Structure 1
Amino acid sequence: MASDSSKVWSIFSLISALAAAAVAKKVVTSTWKATTGKQPPANPADPDVDLWEAVTWAAVSGTLIALARMLATRKAANYYAKSTGKLPPDLQADA
């Protein structure tokens, strides 16, 4: 039974995190285009990309995507806890 709830949580948290990351990437890309007037760097490691642009893109996109994933996982954990009456298996405090 605990194994089933662990699998449900794993799938639920993965789906919510991936969806949040996809939405965040679209938002970051749209904002980058609106702000700079050009496409974000496809590969920030490419030496032809200006260093300031590569660093800015990596910092902004990485931070916002990670933040969106974390917030989505927290929201999913709250939903799971309300539905089952307990925290997800990997978030329960050690006894």
Structure 2
Amino acid sequence: MGLASTVVATVVARKALTTTWKVATGKKPPVNAAHPDVSVGEAVAWATASGVAVGLARMLASRKAAEYYRKSTGHLPANLEDVEV
């Protein structure tokens, strides 16, 4: 369940970010930020925005999946049981 939720969250985040990029800049986001025809500023902006958006989406999806698991079973998944807060 955790894997599926993070995959879905990643796809949704990328689509939302792509749409936001198009609206904000008026052009498509760079397909390959390492390509020499992409400006350094644009490459850095895209890498930063996409990294933050996808990372946050995956973290939030994982947290929701763990919360649902705990409500369903009464305890956290094994990989989260030993983590101290």
Global fold match (TM > 0.5):
yes
Map of 1:34 onto structure 2:
23
CA deviations on 1:32-74 (whole Å, 9 max, x unpaired) are: 0000000000000111100000000000011111100000000
Map of 2:73 onto structure 1:
84
Map of 1:56 onto structure 2:
45
Match of 2:33 among 37, 44, 47: 44
Q: How far apart in 2 are the matches of 1:80 and 1:89?
A: 11
Map of 2:7 onto structure 1:
18
Map of 1:7 onto structure 2:
none
Where has structure 1 moved over 6 Å in runs of 4 or more? none
Larger radius of gyration: 1
Q: How far apart in 1 are the matches of 2:77 and 2:27?
A: 42
Post-superposition offset of 1:15? 0.1
Unaligned runs of 5+ in 1: 1-11
Q: Alignment RMSD, CA only?
A: 0.8
The two structures have a TM-score, normalised by structure 1, of 0.85
Unaligned runs of 5+ in 2: none
SS of corresponding position for 1:46: coil
Q: How far apart in 2 are the matches of 1:27 and 1:86?
A: 33
* Number of equivalences: 83
Identity of matched residues, %: 55
